[in-house]
């Protein structure tokens, strides 16, 4: 199903800011400890928010896609991201382990089933988790689809330059000309260097590159935020780590696995001018999952807080609240 109807202007772009009513830490192994939080209605309908990256971590604004009077909103920083520790740690950090972390968090929360909400890498993890545990999901709100295929990884490393040449030039500038034939290998050599100064500088350059390309219109403050140490070490190291390992997924796993979740309600929300995760991946997912509500936001890039995308995300959680569908 493709939705071409205009969004209801009564829906807020996002809900007002809220604070968590409960936070905590979950040790998942000898290396990693996860930060988690709950917001909204403790007795409400559970929804799980999955952030992007990998490694981007949570923002307080991520709580604002959901009616806090209706939803029990669960958010957490994935391994190596945000307030989870150690920041930027790539060892013992794989998609199957993240799926296991989600299950441990669900059990800790006493949740039987939840609505799963994720954008960008969060959509990747949402699909992987849902296909592993469909019985634990009530539906999916997916945005800026990333299937972590070789062609998508190559686009990120080599294709974005056609739309953001200045930003791309800054991305490749630290890499000697002789190494630019394999940018991923060149960056991995620096991101995983034993010299923390080398690693941190490479992470800042990688992360700032991504942050510069997220919106339809320039948002230099977002690029600056992505260049901060609090975000860049997670984004730079973990994106490269997952890219070089094809996200620990088999070939086209997330498309082939749609049969396991196609009976569940879902919405796919995609910015028309998303340069980070181009619309082709969302279209491929929709072709495999025609029952999903497919929405293209005509005046948006990649970021969740592009006005049209944010409004569509809130509209989706409102539809689920009112009808149980998406």
Catalytic residues: 120, 274, 302
Give the CA distances from residue 103 to residues 57, 84, 111, 203, 232, in Å, rounded to whole numbers and listed in that order: 19, 17, 10, 30, 27
Please measure the distance between the N-terminal and C-terminal CA atoms of the chain and give it in whole angstroms: 11
Beta bridge partners of 326: none
Cα(299)–Cα(27) distance, rounded to whole angstroms? 42
Pairing of strands 33-40, 71-76: antiparallel
CA-wise closest residue to 94 among 231, 203, 242, 236: 242
Please report how many Cα atoms fall inside a 13 Å half-sphere around the Cα of residue 152, on the Cβ side. 26
b/e burial code for range 181-215 (CB count within 10 A of at least 16 → b): eebbebbbebbbeeeeeebbbbbbbbbbbbbbbbb
């Amino acid at each position: 199903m493709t939705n071409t109807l205009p969004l209801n202007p009564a829906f807020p772009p996002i809900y007002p800011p809220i604070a968590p009513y409960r936070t905590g830490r979950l040790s998942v192994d000898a290396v990693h400890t996860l930060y988690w939080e709950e917001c909204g209605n403790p007795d409400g309908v559970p929804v799980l928010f999955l952030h992007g990256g990998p490694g981007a971590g949570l923002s307080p604004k991520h709580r604002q896609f959901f009616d806090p009077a209706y939803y029990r909103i669960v958010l957490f920083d994935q391994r190596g991201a945000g307030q989870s520790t150690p920041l930027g740690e790539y060892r013992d950090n794989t998609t199957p382990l993240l799926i296991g972390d989600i299950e441990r968090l669900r059990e800790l929360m006493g949740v039987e089933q939840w609505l799963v909400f994720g954008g960008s890498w969060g959509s990747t993890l949402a699909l992987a988790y849902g296909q592993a545990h469909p019985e634990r999901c009530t539906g999916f709100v997916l945005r800026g689809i990333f299937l972590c295929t070789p062609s998508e990884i190559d686009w990120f490393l080599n294709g974005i330059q056609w739309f953001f040449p200045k930003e791309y030039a800054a991305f490749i500038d630290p890499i000697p000309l002789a190494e630019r034939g394999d940018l991923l290998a060149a960056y991995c050599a620096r991101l995983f260097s034993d010299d923390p100064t080398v690693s941190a500088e490479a992470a800042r350059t990688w992360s700032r590159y991504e942050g510069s390309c997220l919106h339809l219109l320039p948002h230099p403050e977002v690029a600056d935020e992505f260049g901060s140490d609090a975000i860049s070490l997670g984004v730079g190291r973990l994106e490269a780590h997952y890219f070089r390992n094809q996200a620990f997924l088999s070939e086209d796993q997330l498309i082939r696995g749609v049969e396991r979740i196609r009976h569940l309600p879902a919405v796919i929300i995609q910015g028309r001018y998303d340069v980070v995760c181009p619309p082709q991946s969302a279209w491929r997912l929709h072709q495999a999952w025609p029952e999903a509500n497919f929405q293209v936001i005509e005046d948006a890039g990649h970021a969740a807080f592009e006005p049209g995308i944010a409004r569509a995300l809130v509209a989706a959680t409102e539809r689920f609240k009112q009808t149980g569908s998406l």
